[in-house]
Structure 1
Amino acid sequence: MNGLALHDRPSDAAASWRIALPHSAAAVPVARALVRTALAEAEHGADSDTAELLTAELVANAVEHTPAGDAPIELVVELRPGGCQIEVHDHDPVPPGDLTRPSAGDPDPWQEHGRGLLLIRSLSSSCGHRPTEQGKAVWFRLAVIPPQWRPRQS
């Protein structure tokens, strides 16, 4: 599948997008842009900055930790009444590190890597992974920010 496609939505999704991304670092800014655009166009109440950051982490992990090949990575964005769910699908069935509880010890502050799953666990309302027919999907959810907590637009 090439390009962006609105696909059949789960019953609780207000809007849903799926896009095939290249298995390269170029996928990260494309994924961030799609999430930013989806949240802005739908005037959705989830925090766009956090959604972009966590999406970038998932896509970067998929590029770095799965074997390169002809199979693309897929990004799925679902906007729901209570928030959004973002998934990254890849063709490696091996699950990511533990998304549900902290790993032993803190990340080394001098290393460039090792904080992605910590960010996802800390900033999302929930996260996890599931097997798919072609590999796995790693996902996170963000709740809608109540209007009174949103920054005022000038």
Structure 2
Amino acid sequence: MATVSPSWAYTLQLPHDPRALGIARATLRTVLASHDLGRLAPTAELLAAELLANAHLHTRGPYALHLRAAEPGRLRIGVWDSAPAVPRGFDDPGAVPPPDTSENGRGLHLVRACADTWGASVLRELGVSRGGKLLWAECGGSVN
């Protein structure tokens, strides 16, 4: 008999506070463990950390971590922030990473390299929408 896992999603609202990044990573590990997806923790934590760091470093307001089941055994990690511009290097599949001597600018290239798929959505100010953007990445591969 086949079993179907119910769909799930979590959103963690975060203030613009450097401690929020650690809280978000701890929340991610807890969610993965509770859904028996602990095997995804190393990749998922790297993806989330890079997306969260981008939001923290390049915006001034709050941001949010979104986690949801993409399909059985897969996770979609999204980070919303209030800035509508999609960062260079994330929206262009042909973008070249910065040189090895550069001290920053590799994070979103790392997301693209480690995620199974990624994307960005610009959110417009309509009704109660807060606008901004959502950068997301998926990981999981096949379940053995």
Tell me what 2:42 maps to: 49
Deviation at 1:127, TM superposition (A): 0.5
- The TM-score, its normalising length taken from structure 1, stands at 0.76
| CA apart distance, 1:46 | 5.5
2:100 is aligned, of 103, 106, 109, to 109
- The runs of 5 or more residues in structure 1 that have no matched partner are 1-11, 148-154
Deviation digits for residues 80-101 of structure 1 (CA, Å, limit 9, x no counterpart): 3140101101111111223251
The alpha-carbon distance between structure 1 residues 93 and 35, as it changes in their structure 2 partners (threshold 3 A), is same
Describe the shift of the 1:114–1:46 C-alpha distance in structure 2 as closer, same or farther (beyond 3 A).
same
Q: Within 5 Å, give how 1:2-151 maps onto structure 2.
A: 14-44=7-37, 47-66=40-59, 68-69=60-61, 72-79=62-69, 80-99=71-90, 100-104=92-96, 106-132=97-123, 133=129, 134-147=131-144
| Distance in 2 between residues matched to 1:143 and 1:26, nearest whole Å | 27
Any conservation in 2 of the 1:87–1:137 contact (CA below 8 Å)?
yes
Q: Distance in 2 between matches of 1:120 and 1:13?
A: 27
Contact 1:13–1:78 under 8 Å retained in 2? no
Structure 1 distance, partners of 2:13, 2:102, is 30
Letter in 2 for 1:89: W
For the aligned residues, what is the CA RMSD?
2.0
1:131 deviation in Å?
1.4
SS in 2 for 1:18: strand
1:41 is displaced (CA, Å) by 1.0
Alpha-carbon distance in structure 2 between the residues aligned to 1:102 and 1:60: 22
Q: Which amino acid aligns with 2:79?
A: V
Deviation at 1:116, TM superposition (A): 0.6
- Number of corresponding residues: 132
